[in-house]
Amino acid sequence: MPEQIDPDAEPQLPVGVGPWPGGPDAWPDDPRYDRDLLADGDRRNVIDRYRYWTMAAIVADLDEKRHPFHVAIENWQHDMNIGSIVRSANAFGAAEVHIIGKRRWNRRGAMVTDRYQHVRHHEDVAAFAAWADAAGLPILAIDNVDGSVPVDRSDLPERCVLLFGQEGPGLSPEALAAASGVVEITQYGSTRSINASAAAAVVMYEWCRRYA
């Protein structure tokens, strides 16, 4: 009988790297390396440069080169996009991610990247706006509402907070009022909007295209 293949089974392909070749005698003498990872292998979703490094060493290295843009998202309904936005913020080197509203957020889409990313919570838009004001960071609302400017023609400041809304309602009136400008991504199809995490990735990429 041929082996039956379960179509719903998770693929079990090995990812990452195995134990450091040569055993403990060949381990690098560098405190950034994690002895458990050297012994057992490193299966984490990290770039090759960080293989076998401790999480603290990776965060410290990222802290040296994070970009001066921040990302914020309203969280009134446990939006599933937040995890993906955190992952993209990590990939594009955002200084910090800000969650406005509910403290709990769905981490699934983050794929553990939140452990390498600074994430700050704000009770409401007023508290977030006060923080941004104290930090001297303009808030740029990202939504396709009346009066928004296409991102490719917008004045995207180098130091700023990019503020995204939720699936369904989009940005709240308070969030739009707290922003110094509103930026949209030009669309060409029939749908009213793209997914919030897709929108976040597009705008972060545009920021990196200009400044990184």
Ligand X SMILES: C[S@@+](CC[C@H](N)C(=O)[O-])C[C@H]1O[C@@H](n2cnc3c(N)ncnc32)[C@H](O)[C@@H]1O
Contact residues toward ligand X (CB under 6 A) are 142-145, 164-167, 170-171, 184-185, 187, 192-194, 196, 199
Distance in angstroms (rounded) separating the CA atoms of residues 193 and 142: 12
CB closer to ligand X, 40 vs 167? 167
The minimum distance between CB 83 and ligand X, in angstroms, equals: 15
The minimum distance between CB 54 and ligand X, in angstroms, equals: 35
Could you tell me where the beta strands, DSSP code E, fall in the chain? 69-75, 97-101, 119-122, 139-142, 149-150, 160-164, 181-184
CA angle (34, 67, 194) in 5-degree steps: 105
The minimum distance between CB 173 and ligand X, in angstroms, equals: 12
The minimum distance between CB 133 and ligand X, in angstroms, equals: 21
The SS3 assignment for 94 reads coil
CB closer to ligand X, 43 vs 210? 210
CB closer to ligand X, 54 vs 193? 193
Residue 27, token pair as written in the block: 């381990």
Q: Determine the residue with CB nearest ligand X.
A: 165
**Cα dihedral value 90, 60, 116, 165, nearest 10:** -50
CB closer to ligand X, 58 vs 183? 183
